[in-house]
Structure 1
Amino acid sequence: MRHRAPDCAAARLGAAPRAAGRARAARRGPRPARLARLSVQGRALLARGRAHAARAARPGVRASRHRGVRPVTVLAVHYHRPDGDYDGWALWVWEHPSGAAARAIAPEAIDAFGAVFTIAEPPAGRLGILPCRASASSYDRPDRIWDATLGSEIWLKRGTGRIHAEPPPLLPSLLRAFVDGKHGLTAILEHPLAARLMTPAAFRLRNRKGAPVAITGIEADGAFVSLATHGLLPYREADAAAWTLALQGSNAVPLRVRRILDAYESAAPLGARVEGGRTEFAVFAPGAGMVQVELFADAGGGTPRTHRLRRDSRGVWRTALDEDLTGTYYSYIIHGGDPDFGARRRAVDPYGRLSTRHDGRSRVLAPRPPLPPGPSFPRQDAVIYELHVRDFTIDPEGGAAAPGTFGGLAEGGTRLAGLPTCLDHIVELGANVVQLMPVLDFPIDIAGGGYDWGYMPAHYFSPQGWYAADRTGDGRVDELRALVDALHARGLKVVFDVVYNHTCETEPGRGVCLSPCAPRYYYRERPDGTPYNGSGCGNELRTEAPMARRLILDSLAYMADTFGADGFRFDLLALMDADTIAAAGAMLRDRNPDILLYGEPWAADWAGIPLPSADTLRANGFAVFDDRFRDALRGSVFSSEGGFLSHGEKVGELKAALKRRDPLDRIIYTECHDNHTLWDRLALVTAREGHIAWREREAMVRMGTALLLASPGIPLLHAGQEFLRTKNGAHNSFDLGDEINMVRWRAKIEHVATATYVRGLIAMRRAHPIFRPGAAGERALFFLDDDLGLPVPPKAVGFVLRRRALASELKEVAVLANANVIPQTFHLPFKRWQVFADHMHAQALPCGTYVGKAIVVPPRSAWVLGRS
């Protein structure tokens, strides 16, 4: 363990912690940034460090471990801060890497360079040094590591890890320089340059031949400096890397191309196409110096045939070969020169219709005809059922012949103890939309038994081979098409869960398709070149870039045409720019006026673009997930607090969510793939009461599902929640494997009464238009207490749905939910009612009648009554 200075250990101010892979800091609702205040921990750490140092101390001076190097008995450290503020600053030092003898050193003097520190008896090995300011809980990263070879006097500068053996110049170092326009550079300095020095003459720009290029203008924003040039700047990576920008009295750096590439845009076909016996390859790589395509006979190994492509004026490289190469495997070799991405990079085709694996080869695919259209109904009739292809059929008791695959999900006739499983179960349940969690290619170690949800996409055209019987041939494409066809044949629409806000390319030089072709083009960067991470997954797709926007639109069109998509669920929709959202909505509705479009309206606060409002999303035809409805019922996903179902709490929040006047634009839900299942969540939040019988939790689930299916909005159910699905308490099971994630079909047998109850609720909703959301602004929901003046018990909610203009016979519905542990009396506006759902039964036709203006509702249950 390495020790840090008191209070300095912490800061990372305003940053929410980022977990690996699918943890996604921004996920499931607006999440405030977290402010880490660790001063108490810092003091404890200091105390432990001093105790450790006392135990580890050895008297005398030890010999250096470096032969021929004289031991250092006193080390002088000079530390410079450009702002000249040294108040409270100290050095935190420790024996590296053990962390022993950790202690704080106060400055002895301030001279013309900065603060001067003296360290007696430095270790014979290595010494860690970290400037820190205890009072402000801040520190100057990175750690500096000293040993005796560096001498007995060293100089440090703020913000850089370099240790100088001589006094360095006090001008800031030039860290990077980006070509952001035909005449524009962005220079990144170690720290701001003094205003009196901020002139064009302070910088020297030289082209690849060493000749100076005039700088005609300068504008600074702290350490970021925008420079205007007289001559044209290079757009090719290798050319830019041969240019240099220098700060007088400091260092020089090569140029890196960046936003200059936004000038290149093409509408020409991309990818591999076979037409008339010829095969054309085309790829967008505007900064490359040369592009080659390698052709292979097999999915792996073999000696390629190599052909060069030619660049057009819009940044697209292409070649046409006089042969039909259908079934041939290929990859691109991009010759660049960017210092961070390498001079020679292999790339999977970003437009490849089939890839052997996320970092493998593409395959030339013959075009497929469009699938026959699926069922047609308006989006207000939708009851969505979300599932993961593998989870839903991998349980051996489910009976699928091809478990865990597209084919397994397409199978009919599966049974367990006489009850339908898998696809037949969905049909029996009555849901009419299947939302498939991501099925496009993503990284996964199939051979090593890996598991993943699929939210780290690699390719936007190729289906995931993990779900296919034929993983390297055309099977993954044809098997997905067959699945969609099978779902359509059973009356089910198909919604694809798509991830256009980030990709798996989280490290420079290790991309698979986008970064190798156009470094820095496809991802949002801060001015200094570091990535924005509003996704919480390492990057943000720069959807506003012309060819990134085109990539998204082309992918959506391909999914709609080739795979018969009836809708799309957009992961972190708010990270897509408003223009791309508008273009996508218009394009997809033009193809299918009834298409279902919805997504998550949130992202992290530190995203790289202003987040579009929910109103903007709705105006473009997108419904949004209503996390307020979810949180009111079960409690916030960011705490262990309860909600209405478990404790009768959050009544106000639930009523606020229910009375919103845009129900057609809201996806309402009590659970989805993220966070705990409802069953597990209720176990968590009721733990403070001690043991609660599982039948009590089952009653809570039934009450929540009744509220879900009797409320305005478009309901979504998570696969298995109808029979109390559990993930053994896991709240983020994105990579936890089958044991945690698979839908266990025996649970349907064990909880068949609840599964039957949910089926009845769905039948009720689908049979009666009054339950479906109306037009925006239509007032259809009235609370018994707030609007009708009737008393409602505490820890309870009662409302009436009224749509008397409907042509159907049912024009008024009362929904009564009692979250108390004892029965409660509700007062009704009318005397005669039909009962469609009570605490035990639910169905499309009335299961009884009730006469009276007061009714007793059992504990932890919801009743649904109707009037003609």
Structure 2
Amino acid sequence: MLSHSLCISQVAFPWAIRKNIARLLYIASLFVMDIPFSDDHKFLRRAFWETPDRAVVVLKHDWADQAGPLPLFWDEPGNAIERYERVPPRRYGEWVGYYVEQGWLYFLLRPEDYPNVKFPEERIFVSGDFNSWEGEGDPNWELHPETLDGKLRYYIRLPPSACFKDRQGFFKFVTSDGHWLEPSHMAPNRATDANGSVNLSLNPERTGAHVFYFFAPEAHNPLSSHRLWWIDEEWSESCPIDFKFLLFQAGTDLELGAMVDAHKQTTTFRLFAPRASVVTLEYSKSIDRSARWYSLELEPVAHSVWEAVVSKDLSGAYYGYKLEGDWDFFDPQVSVLDPYAKASVGPQGPGIIVGPSHESTRPKPFHPPAWHDLIMVEGHVRDLIAKAPIKMKPDERLGFSGLRAWVRDTSCYLRKLGINAIELQPIQQFDGGDPDDYHWGYMPVNYFAPTSHYALNPHKASGVEEMRELVDAFHEAGIAVIIDVVYNHLGNPNPLYLIDRDYYFETNPDGTLTNWSGCGNDLRTHTPMARRLIIDSLKHWVKTFGVDGFRFDLAELISVDVLRDVETALKAIKPSVILIAEPWSFRGHIGFALRSTGFCSWNDGYRDFLPKYVCGEGNVDGLAYFMGGSTGHLSAWAAQSLNYTESHDDFAWIDRITQNAHNNGDWPTAQDISRTHLMFAILMASLGVPMISAGQDFMRSKLGNFNTYQRGDLNALDYDREARFAGTHAYVSSWTRWRLSHKGNFMRFDGRPSAGFMRVCAGQGNSAVALLYNADGALGARQVLFAVNPHSDTVEIALPGIKPQQFKQIADHERFDANGLEDAWLSWCDDKLRLPPLSCGLWETL
């Protein structure tokens, strides 16, 4: 049954125009999704509302005009649908890449689906089963650009007999230089062939003549339950008419949350809840449930928003919502945490109203380093301070205030390491029970509030000021602050689920939640208000706390389109914002698609290659590619690659490469240490942004444990190891300081290096390599040479044309002196460089 808050006048069609990605993606799935409602269906595949008055029916097969009128009925067999018409074939073709019209088969490409291709300069061809996958470069299979309705499209017109076979086939678009264009994850006919290749399917029984508009009777409600019937002389069947397409257009520009007007002495509450029938506000000045709590029903206003105004300044008060409605996800017994709450007592709420006095304090100005100048550490708030060797109270070691004290101490490990950016694991309000319990934070329940787990007095919203002071402390130390954010799923209790499950979460055809995140649900980021929630909360963290950037967990689930909107919104308020994506999920990878954005990506290829290489199992081409900033594929510019070999996930580096049994690197062997030094030298000598996992420089071990997301005892940094492995820590610190100096500018390359910038000289029959930076002299006469031997034998590398007398050695695999090593240089005679086992060296021109 339709609740009064979802009347047609309240569906926000202006939002559908401005935020039409959600609309278009959903309609694509409805047009041609290959999952029928029933195996018994012979004609109907699905039906859905496109507007309040017009619906779309998708048949299982093409329907020819000569076959007669469509025997469609509304709700029950007696209500014949009198008016229907075909959906224009080209509209269908834009989603699937082909359609048939007036006896011709058209292949159609939309440039916006392939943002990394340089249109219109690039030539496009179609290849498939029909031309033995040899269309590339053949003018007979070339698509031609044409502007239709103001939009660039690529077409080729062919006789259907040239491509249609008796069975379903496959095709794909390809550029003139052999770059196969990967089908969008949202392409409804995306399919995998027997060889595992992802292509587009070509079905001769679905050419666009199977999709129709039909028009409903005048008196109807598109957001209630309706069915479409097919009834002919021999067969009858029905399917529901899906209304989610209309639901997913709902949105508003109204400010949401609890807003205090100190001048008028009022507090306004607004909540977006598109299918609720009753929304009740509960609030109190006391957290004690035995004290008086006030209840007030909100009123529906425009665009599915509910509102109430209290004639008091309720700063510091506690509040929550109870929602009722006709859908099974509503639970009127549960108090729901406001998604826009700026502070929370805990994961279940209640929210705390943060007044103007709290929000008026603005963070101190800070200008983060340019992306190519970054060297960052990934760390967890509690891991960094649990064993920090300074005095602090036990409760301070649990959160923001303790980390602030540690950062301000001159002996702070991060200061000594010499890095200039910290990537903190999630600090937005996450789920969990006892505040003392250890949690990685990747199960968020609110995106605006600093987590109450890290606050000294969460009942007083102390985390807001404590978080601001923590950021200021990092900035005073010259360290930019990047926070890890999780906009791909939510934890429990899940407030968005209780507000509107289907609006906020991706679902399977049977209505169950999808789980590409591996955490039980996937946020439907394309709906207008989910997208707005993401952007509004990120802007809040920049404006209120002064954070310098964000790392997006499982960003593939957020999608490139939403990430582009995030980039635009954040750069409008902070042009220097640092944007990092973990570009994969269990569903796929968007690393290549991010090349055309202002995001850099965690380079998982780099992470997987380096352990193999330092153990002698890599190759020269791979090392040259990754040390060159991965600009041959992943990156459009060097600093778009975030290079790392350890993160919070999986094994610690030393556990991964150790010679010890059971991946336990707690007591590393001599070779483990040597290989670790090689890794750090390669990491710091690589173009791109280097990231170190906290404690990695002093051989942090998790005792062979693979997943330690709830093991604070294993994750806490043991600073005694800093002394125990002082040589490694000092070696890494020397590299970081040299890289950040003017002499390390080649490794901090700004932009995309030329093909001749890095000269590669390889050993014979092994993977040892020497790399000459600025080989083409594009950056002046100065040059740097780096060489590495990951093998257990001594190797020689020929360096023709590179004269040793023009260089001085400043580092090897154990030492680093920016002024030059005084003795025990690596042997370099004439044009032969001799490298002992597990060694490396760094030279610069005199």
Please give the TM-score of this superposition, normalised by the length of structure 2: 0.70
Residue 429 of structure 1 and its aligned partner are, at CA, apart by: 0.7
Please name the residue that 2:380 is paired with.
388
Please name the residue that 1:471 is paired with.
458
2:596 pairs, out of 619, 632, 641, with: 619
- 2-side partners of 1:339 and 1:706: how far apart? 57
SS of the residue 1:426 aligns to? helix
Residue 729 of structure 1 and its aligned partner are, at CA, apart by: 1.3
Residue 409 of structure 1 and its aligned partner are, at CA, apart by: 0.9
The answer to whether the 8 Å contact 1:758/1:842 transfers is no
1:261 pairs, out of 240, 243, 247, with: 247
SS of the residue 1:597 aligns to? strand
What amino acid is aligned across from residue 655 of structure 2 in structure 1? Answer: D
Confirm or deny that 1:782 pairs with 2:753: no
Please name the residue that 2:311 is paired with.
322
Given the superposition, is the C-alpha separation of residues 245 and 225 from structure 1 closer, same or farther in structure 2, using an over 3 Å criterion? Answer: same
- 2-side partners of 1:382 and 1:493: how far apart? 9
- 1-side partners of 2:369 and 2:68: how far apart? 64
Residue 564 of structure 1 and its aligned partner are, at CA, apart by: 0.5
Confirm or deny that 1:240 pairs with 2:217: no
The answer to whether the 8 Å contact 2:377/2:694 transfers is yes
Please name the residue that 2:692 is paired with.
717
Please name the residue that 1:862 is paired with.
840
Please name the residue that 1:830 is paired with.
803
Greater displacement, 193-202 / 591-600: 193-202
2:272 pairs, out of 255, 279, 284, with: 284
- 1-side partners of 2:255 and 2:795: how far apart? 66
- 1-side partners of 2:641 and 2:529: how far apart? 31
The answer to whether the 8 Å contact 2:390/2:406 transfers is no
Q: Deviations over 1:448-507 (max 9, x none)?
A: x633211122111011111121122211111111110111111111011111122226xx
Residue 233 of structure 1 and its aligned partner are, at CA, apart by: 9.2
What amino acid is aligned across from residue 708 of structure 2 in structure 1? Answer: S
Given the superposition, is the C-alpha separation of residues 338 and 379 from structure 1 closer, same or farther in structure 2, using an over 3 Å criterion? Answer: same
Confirm or deny that 1:495 pairs with 2:468: no
Please name the residue that 1:117 is paired with.
none
Q: Deviations over 1:293-343 (max 9, x none)?
A: 111233352442111222222111112211100011111122221135457
Residue 272 of structure 1 and its aligned partner are, at CA, apart by: 0.6
SS of the residue 2:675 aligns to? helix
Percent identity among equivalent residues?
27
Paired residue total? 663
Given the superposition, is the C-alpha separation of residues 692 and 265 from structure 1 closer, same or farther in structure 2, using an over 3 Å criterion? Answer: closer
1:347 pairs, out of 336, 343, 356, with: 336
Please name the residue that 1:92 is paired with.
none
What amino acid is aligned across from residue 692 of structure 2 in structure 1? Answer: L
2:783 pairs, out of 807, 812, 827, with: 812
The answer to whether the 8 Å contact 1:391/1:404 transfers is no
Please name the residue that 1:49 is paired with.
none
Please name the residue that 1:93 is paired with.
none
The answer to whether the 8 Å contact 1:795/1:819 transfers is yes
SS of the residue 1:553 aligns to? helix
- 2-side partners of 1:682 and 1:741: how far apart? 18
The answer to whether the 8 Å contact 1:522/1:542 transfers is yes
Residue 253 of structure 1 and its aligned partner are, at CA, apart by: 9.8
Given the superposition, is the C-alpha separation of residues 339 and 758 from structure 1 closer, same or farther in structure 2, using an over 3 Å criterion? Answer: same
Confirm or deny that 1:681 pairs with 2:656: yes
Residues 645-794 of structure 1 aligned to structure 2 (within 5 Å):
645-659=614-628, 660-661=630-631, 662-683=637-658, 694-735=669-710, 737-767=711-741, 768=743, 769-779=745-755, 781-785=757-761, 791=763, 794=766
The answer to whether the 8 Å contact 1:384/1:434 transfers is yes
- 2-side partners of 1:183 and 1:451: how far apart? 53
Confirm or deny that 1:429 pairs with 2:386: no
The answer to whether the 8 Å contact 1:457/1:503 transfers is yes
- 1-side partners of 2:408 and 2:68: how far apart? 74
Residue 731 of structure 1 and its aligned partner are, at CA, apart by: 2.0
| RMSD between aligned residues | 4.0
Given the superposition, is the C-alpha separation of residues 866 and 407 from structure 1 closer, same or farther in structure 2, using an over 3 Å criterion? Answer: same
Given the superposition, is the C-alpha separation of residues 350 and 430 from structure 1 closer, same or farther in structure 2, using an over 3 Å criterion? Answer: same
Given the superposition, is the C-alpha separation of residues 446 and 692 from structure 1 closer, same or farther in structure 2, using an over 3 Å criterion? Answer: closer
The answer to whether the 8 Å contact 2:665/2:701 transfers is no
The answer to whether the 8 Å contact 1:525/1:532 transfers is yes
What amino acid is aligned across from residue 361 of structure 1 in structure 2? Answer: P
The answer to whether the 8 Å contact 1:200/1:218 transfers is no
2:299 pairs, out of 297, 310, 323, with: 310
Please name the residue that 2:526 is paired with.
544
Please name the residue that 1:356 is paired with.
345
Residue 379 of structure 1 and its aligned partner are, at CA, apart by: 1.4
The answer to whether the 8 Å contact 2:579/2:599 transfers is yes
- 1-side partners of 2:259 and 2:243: how far apart? 30
1:559 pairs, out of 522, 537, 541, with: 541
Greater displacement, 403-412 / 572-581: 572-581
Residue 805 of structure 1 and its aligned partner are, at CA, apart by: 6.6
- 2-side partners of 1:226 and 1:792: how far apart? 66
What amino acid is aligned across from residue 311 of structure 1 in structure 2? Answer: P
- 2-side partners of 1:219 and 1:300: how far apart? 62
What amino acid is aligned across from residue 607 of structure 2 in structure 1? Answer: R
Given the superposition, is the C-alpha separation of residues 195 and 590 from structure 1 closer, same or farther in structure 2, using an over 3 Å criterion? Answer: closer
Residue 820 of structure 1 and its aligned partner are, at CA, apart by: 1.4
Residue 793 of structure 1 and its aligned partner are, at CA, apart by: 6.5
Confirm or deny that 1:403 pairs with 2:397: yes
Residue 537 of structure 1 and its aligned partner are, at CA, apart by: 2.4
What amino acid is aligned across from residue 469 of structure 1 in structure 2? Answer: L
Given the superposition, is the C-alpha separation of residues 225 and 815 from structure 1 closer, same or farther in structure 2, using an over 3 Å criterion? Answer: same
The answer to whether the 8 Å contact 1:644/1:650 transfers is yes
Greater displacement, 481-490 / 291-300: 291-300
- 1-side partners of 2:663 and 2:309: how far apart? 69
The answer to whether the 8 Å contact 1:332/1:349 transfers is yes
- 2-side partners of 1:383 and 1:629: how far apart? 16
Please name the residue that 2:773 is paired with.
801
Given the superposition, is the C-alpha separation of residues 340 and 512 from structure 1 closer, same or farther in structure 2, using an over 3 Å criterion? Answer: closer
What amino acid is aligned across from residue 722 of structure 1 in structure 2? Answer: D
Given the superposition, is the C-alpha separation of residues 304 and 520 from structure 1 closer, same or farther in structure 2, using an over 3 Å criterion? Answer: same
What amino acid is aligned across from residue 521 of structure 2 in structure 1? Answer: N
The answer to whether the 8 Å contact 1:793/1:824 transfers is no
The answer to whether the 8 Å contact 2:655/2:666 transfers is no
The answer to whether the 8 Å contact 1:351/1:461 transfers is yes
Please give the TM-score of this superposition, normalised by the length of structure 1: 0.69
- 2-side partners of 1:232 and 1:483: how far apart? 60
SS of the residue 1:314 aligns to? helix
- 2-side partners of 1:626 and 1:710: how far apart? 16
Residue 202 of structure 1 and its aligned partner are, at CA, apart by: 6.8
Residue 288 of structure 1 and its aligned partner are, at CA, apart by: 1.6
Residue 358 of structure 1 and its aligned partner are, at CA, apart by: 2.0
Residue 345 of structure 1 and its aligned partner are, at CA, apart by: 5.7
Please name the residue that 2:172 is paired with.
none
Residue 665 of structure 1 and its aligned partner are, at CA, apart by: 1.1
Residue 656 of structure 1 and its aligned partner are, at CA, apart by: 2.5
Confirm or deny that 1:338 pairs with 2:324: no
Please name the residue that 1:122 is paired with.
none
Q: Deviations over 1:113-141 (max 9, x none)?
A: xxxxxxxxxxxxxxxxxxxxxxxxxxxxx
Residue 596 of structure 1 and its aligned partner are, at CA, apart by: 1.3
Given the superposition, is the C-alpha separation of residues 453 and 692 from structure 1 closer, same or farther in structure 2, using an over 3 Å criterion? Answer: closer
Given the superposition, is the C-alpha separation of residues 180 and 751 from structure 1 closer, same or farther in structure 2, using an over 3 Å criterion? Answer: farther
SS of the residue 1:815 aligns to? strand
Q: Deviations over 1:40-86 (max 9, x none)?
A: xxxxxxxxxxxxxxxxxxxxxxxxxxxxxxxxxxxxxxxxxxxxxxx
Greater displacement, 282-291 / 702-711: 282-291
Confirm or deny that 1:272 pairs with 2:258: yes
